[in-house]
């Protein structure tokens, strides 16, 4: 059952109170006037004012006139009182609707602020002014919670970014030392597989650090936004794998071109890396319903819908292997979702009929 909005309930309460007060006033007026009219009053009239009747007929005629007068007064009282009660009730409903709106406006501000929040808009505050009542206490508590969340998220992003920067340098040095000091002419053939494994492990760690840094950067506020087209931004990634758009449809957007190109490159790299023997990768772009989109589809193993939804989580793969894969660090789709959200968009993954995955990114259209 759908709950009745608070504003409607307050309006009905206020209007009902007005109607009850008006009806009570009608009843009180009716009782008072009825009691006054039922009192016996001696009326003396000149004989010339009486009709030409005598005896009981004259008394009957006089009482009838008095009774008619009572009914006329009471009937008029009821009619006009009921009309006044209806008008007062309607006025009460209108006043109640206005008063309810004024009373709920501060709560509406809290709701709107909460609705606009995301990881990159936690700096917003309600900053409600007014008397120190329950609603202001709620707004201040909400602002305090946002302050703590903003500090926590900002600290987390700074830590990841700083750690990534600090770790990239020693990894690059290690790779250079391995390549120079353990070249083919300087080590025995038996140690070359160990050298290759060390270089592969170093490369995986570099990709992991680069992915963490990109993920941290993509979750921050966008400092520069420029017009662009997802179809044009997709060309470098497609050319790198010898792919083309089957048919180019414009997909205008506004955002950070470097991050958007990285987003598409991650989608294409992920589709190529996790393909099967059919080796089919299809990229589509376009715009519909006020959103531009890019969709990447590949062939592959059968994927359950629940598994597809979890692929955007960091370090999640379909296989049980989380650290030994040479194909990636498990951050590709996490970065894709972070970049999409930073641009006010969404990322969706769903299984492809016959095996494989379809990943669709929708961003606000230019």
Would you say residue 362 lies in a domain? yes
Region 107-124 average pLDDT: 70
* pLDDT at position 264: 92
pLDDT value at 133 more than 70 = no
Would you say residue 288 lies in a domain? yes
Higher pLDDT, 344 or 163: 344
Number of domains in the chain: 2
Higher pLDDT, 250 or 19: 250
Structure token digits, residue 78: 């009821």
Q: What does the DSSP assignment read for 82-147?
A: HHHHHHHHHHHHHHHHHHHHHHHHHHHHHHHHHHT--TT-TT------S-SSHHHHHHHHHHHHHH
Structure token digits, residue 351: 């299984």
> For 16-25, 37-46, 343-352, which range has the lowest pLDDT when averaged over its residues?
37-46
> What are the pLDDT digits (tens) for 310-343?
888 877 766 544 444 445 567 788 888 888 888 8
Q: Which residues share a beta bridge with 281? A: 298
pLDDT value at 344 more than 90 = no
pLDDT value at 6 more than 60 = yes
* pLDDT at position 324: 43
Q: How far apart are CA 137 and CA 30, in angstroms?
A: 48
- Mean per-residue pLDDT over the chain, rounded: 76
Would you say residue 136 lies in a domain? no
Would you say residue 237 lies in a domain? yes
Contacts within 8 Å (CB) and 24+ apart, 165-168: 165/213, 167/205, 167/209, 168/206, 168/209, 168/210, 168/213
Burial of 263 per CB tally in 10 Å (0-12, 13-18, 19+): buried
Would you say residue 140 lies in a domain? no
Region 111-116 average pLDDT: 74
64 band by pLDDT with thresholds 50, 70 and 90? low
> What are the pLDDT digits (tens) for 169-181?
787 888 887 777 7
Q: Which residues share a beta bridge with 253? A: 228
pLDDT value at 291 more than 80 = yes
Would you say residue 17 lies in a domain? yes
pLDDT value at 290 more than 60 = yes
Would you say residue 306 lies in a domain? yes
Domain interval for residue 96 = 6-115
**Domain termination site, one of 81, 115, 149:** 115
pLDDT value at 99 more than 60 = yes
pLDDT value at 156 more than 60 = yes
């Amino acid at each position: 059952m759908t709950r009745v909005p608070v504003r409607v309930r307050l309006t009905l309460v206020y209007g009902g109170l007005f109607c009850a007060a008006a009806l009570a006033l009608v009843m009180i007026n009716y009782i008072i006037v009825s009691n006054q009219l039922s009192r016996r009053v001696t009326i003396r009239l000149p004989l010339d004012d009486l009709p030409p009747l005598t005896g009981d007929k004259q008394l009957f005629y006089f009482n009838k006139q008095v009774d008619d007068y009572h009914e006329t007064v009471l009937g008029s009282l009821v009619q006009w009182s009921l009309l006044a009660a209806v008008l007062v009730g309607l006025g009460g409903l209108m006043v109640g609707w206005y008063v309810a709106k004024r009373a709920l406006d501060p709560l509406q501000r809290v709701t709107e602020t909460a609705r606009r929040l995301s990881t990159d808009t936690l700096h917003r505050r309600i900053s409600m002014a007014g008397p120190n009542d329950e609603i202001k206490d709620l707004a201040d508590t909400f602002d305090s919670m946002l302050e703590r969340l903003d500090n926590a998220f900002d600290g987390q992003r700074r830590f990841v970014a700083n750690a990534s920067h600090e770790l990239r340098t020693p990894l690059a040095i290690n790779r250079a030392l391995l390549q120079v000091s353990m070249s083919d002419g300087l080590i025995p053939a038996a140690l070359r597989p160990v050298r290759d494994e060390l270089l592969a492990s170093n490369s995986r760690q570099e990709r992991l650090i680069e992915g963490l840094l990109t993920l941290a950067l993509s979750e921050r506020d966008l400092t520069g936004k420029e017009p662009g087209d997802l179809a044009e931004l997709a060309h470098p990634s497609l050319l790198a794998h010898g792919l083309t758009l089957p048919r180019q449809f414009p997909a205008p957007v506004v955002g950070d071109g470097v991050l958007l190109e990285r987003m598409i490159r991650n989608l294409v790299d992920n589709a190529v890396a996790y393909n099967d023997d059919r080796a089919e990768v299809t990229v589509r772009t376009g715009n519909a319903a006020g959103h531009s989109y890019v969709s990447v589809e590949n062939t592959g193993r059968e994927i359950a819908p629940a598994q597809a939804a979890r692929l955007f989580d960091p370090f999640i793969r379909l296989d049980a292997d989380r650290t030994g894969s040479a194909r990636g660090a498990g951050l590709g789709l996490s970065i894709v979702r972070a970049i999409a959200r930073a641009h006010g968009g969404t990322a969706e993954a769903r299984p492809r009929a016959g095996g494989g995955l379809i990943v669709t990114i929708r961003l606000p259209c230019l």
